[in-house]
Amino acid sequence: MASTSPALAPATSNDPLEPALLIEGAQTDASLNDSLFGHVWALPGKGWWGLFGIALMGLTLLLVGLTYTLYKGIGAWGNNIPVGWAFGIINFVWWIGIGHAGTLISAILLLLQQKWRTSINRFAEAMTLFAVICALIFPLIHTGRPWFAAYWLLPYPSVNGIWPQFKSPLVWDVFAVSTYFTISLLFWFLGLIPDLASLRDSSKSPTKRMIYGIFAMGWRGSGRHWAEYKWSYLLLAGLSTPLVLSVHTIVSFYFAVSVLPGWHTTVFPPYFVAGAVFSGFAMVLTWMVPARHFLGLKHVVTMKHLENMNKVILATGLMVTYGYVMEHFIAWYSGNPYEFAMFFKVRQRGPFAPVYWLMIFCNVVVPQIFWSKKARTSLPIMWIAAILVNVGMWCERFNIIVTALHRDFLPSKWEIYAPTWVDWSIYLGTIGLFSTLFLLFLKFVPAVAATEVKELRHEIAHHAEGGEAHG
């Protein structure tokens, strides 16, 4: 692991580049065990039940919305011709994007040996998983005949006597997203195994011991186990890394390979990936800020972690801004009248102009506040900014999908779009589903990768003692 590399700067408090502490206070393995597993063993309090109740209400909205959609058809939504895609695909892209923070933190930061990831990776990975679950609802439910869409997109010798159309980005997406979900699930679960074993060993009831025991998959912590574990973890990290780039690239192909002004844009793949990481970190922050407070994790999720995430938000926010600038520049520079009208008339002055300007405010203006260290380390500011970024990224997808569709080539077929209650209930419902899953996650598995934190503590302690690298 990290400590085997002599080139790596030790993650100590006296490093000028990493001046803040990654673990606060004098911690031992035992104290970390207590504090990190505490929220699993503690009985749910009133706060948890209250939040869980709200989340379940959201989930109910989702079920109502989905049932009604299946019963009535897509006509229950606000979609029309020309706006063939609206909330369904907006929400899909939004949720998939949110998932990206987890993958980035788990995989790329691991490969880059960024120690600050250890306290937040479990949290972020879980969010990836739940976000992808939320996202996966949409490609299915948004089709006219989901009962066929569920399996006709898979390449198998079907009754249709024809393969799926491999030129369609929707087919690419089936592979991209299913791979993404599988790898994310495996990665998250693999990382959990040592912690699950710890939970098994420290649990006091036989039932819990049995359940955690099953999921711990016979982990005994032997040297061989650790060796295999480290290797597979690294391999999965290697597999995940291209996914961070590929999934949202392919999602952006939905739009980029089309002919529509506002969609047909070559900057989309990198700009979508940056946007995904941007929104993903914002979502992690949105949940992390309250969670570290209520779960008593302030000593492992320190201000330094939060500040680092704010820096990532600032950086990716700048990339997103660059994407916007390039889109507009090319629309002007290309001399294409349709694109020019889309970028300089329809979006800025059309019926959905408020959405555009909200997007600009949230995604371009708001992140600039993180140039200031004071803002980066202020909990209320970062929390509000993170929520605004999530709003902004949703607006961005609305802007790309609905605004481009409702005013395309021929003005005769321009139509206004208005979402229905079903659209809103499904959207809010997925937030409910996400919250439900997340609250259950907090109740059943450690929110912080205890194994990795303990390992990190050892490294820090070791370096503080000035000893040689080992272990």
Site string for another protein, 156-175 (x = CB under 8 A): ----x-xxxx-xxxxx--x-
Nearer to another protein, 324 or 338 (CB): 338
Nearer to another protein, 37 or 263 (CB): 263
Residue 5's contacts (CB-CB under 8 Å, 6 or more residues apart) are 113
Amino acid found at 54: I
Nearer to another protein, 256 or 301 (CB): 256
Q: Does 80 bind another protein (CB under 8 A)?
A: yes
Site string for another protein, 58-77 (x = CB under 8 A): --------------xxxx--
Q: Does 141 bind another protein (CB under 8 A)?
A: no
- The rounded distance, in Å, linking the Cα atoms of 467 and 122 is 29
Nearer to another protein, 282 or 331 (CB): 331
CB 286 within 8 A of CB 355: no
Q: Does 202 bind another protein (CB under 8 A)?
A: no
Q: How far is the CB of 70 from another protein (least distance, A)?
A: 10
- Where are the alpha helices (H) located in 43-120, listed in sequence order? 46-72, 87-103, 109-111
Tokens 């370096």 belong to 463
Nearer to another protein, 216 or 401 (CB): 401
Tokens of 336: 């294409």
Residue 242's contacts (CB-CB under 8 Å, 6 or more residues apart) are none
CB 88 within 8 A of CB 431: no
Q: How far is the CB of 181 from another protein (least distance, A)?
A: 18
Name residues contacting another protein, limited to 451-470 (CB under 8 A). Answer: none
Residue 294's contacts (CB-CB under 8 Å, 6 or more residues apart) are 47
Buried b (16+ CB within 10 A) or exposed e, 319-339: ebbebbebbbeebeeeeeebb
Q: Which stretch binds another protein (CB under 8 A): 28-36, 97-105, 336-344, 371-379?
A: 336-344
CB 96 within 8 A of CB 135: yes
> Among residues 207, 127, 124, which one has the least CA distance to residue 452?
124
Amino acid found at 72: K
> Among residues 77, 97, 98, which one has the least CA distance to residue 86?
77
Q: How far is the CB of 128 from another protein (least distance, A)?
A: 25
Nearer to another protein, 406 or 454 (CB): 406
CB 283 within 8 A of CB 101: yes
Q: Does 348 bind another protein (CB under 8 A)?
A: no
Q: Which stretch binds another protein (CB under 8 A): 4-12, 45-53, 335-343, 443-451?
A: 335-343
Q: Does 260 bind another protein (CB under 8 A)?
A: yes
Residues contacting another protein: total by CB under 8 A: 53
Name residues contacting another protein, limited to 83-102 (CB under 8 A). Answer: 83-85
Amino acid found at 465: E
- The rounded distance, in Å, linking the Cα atoms of 246 and 272 is 10
Tokens of 230: 């480290």
Q: Which stretch binds another protein (CB under 8 A): 232-240, 363-371, 411-419, 439-447?
A: 411-419
Q: Does 114 bind another protein (CB under 8 A)?
A: no
Nearer to another protein, 198 or 265 (CB): 265
* Binder of another protein out of 39, 100, 122, 142 (CB under 8 A): 142
Q: How far is the CB of 338 from another protein (least distance, A)?
A: 8
* Binder of another protein out of 411, 466, 467, 471 (CB under 8 A): 411
CB 165 within 8 A of CB 240: no
Tell whether omega for the bond before 82 is within 30 degrees of 0, i.e. cis.
Answer: yes
Tokens 């520079």 belong to 333
- The rounded distance, in Å, linking the Cα atoms of 164 and 156 is 9
> What is the C-alpha end-to-end distance of the chain, expressed in Å?
9
> Among residues 275, 283, 282, 285, which one has the least CA distance to residue 251?
275
Nearer to another protein, 111 or 154 (CB): 154
Nearer to another protein, 74 or 127 (CB): 74
* Binder of another protein out of 44, 296, 351, 419 (CB under 8 A): 351
Q: How far is the CB of 92 from another protein (least distance, A)?
A: 12
Nearer to another protein, 30 or 410 (CB): 410
* Binder of another protein out of 94, 268, 281, 338 (CB under 8 A): 338
Q: Does 416 bind another protein (CB under 8 A)?
A: yes
Sign of CA dihedral 253, 256, 260, 261: positive
**Given the rule CB under 8 A, which residues bind another protein?**
72-75, 78-85, 142-146, 148-149, 152-153, 160, 162-165, 167-171, 174, 254, 257-260, 337-338, 341, 351, 405, 408-418
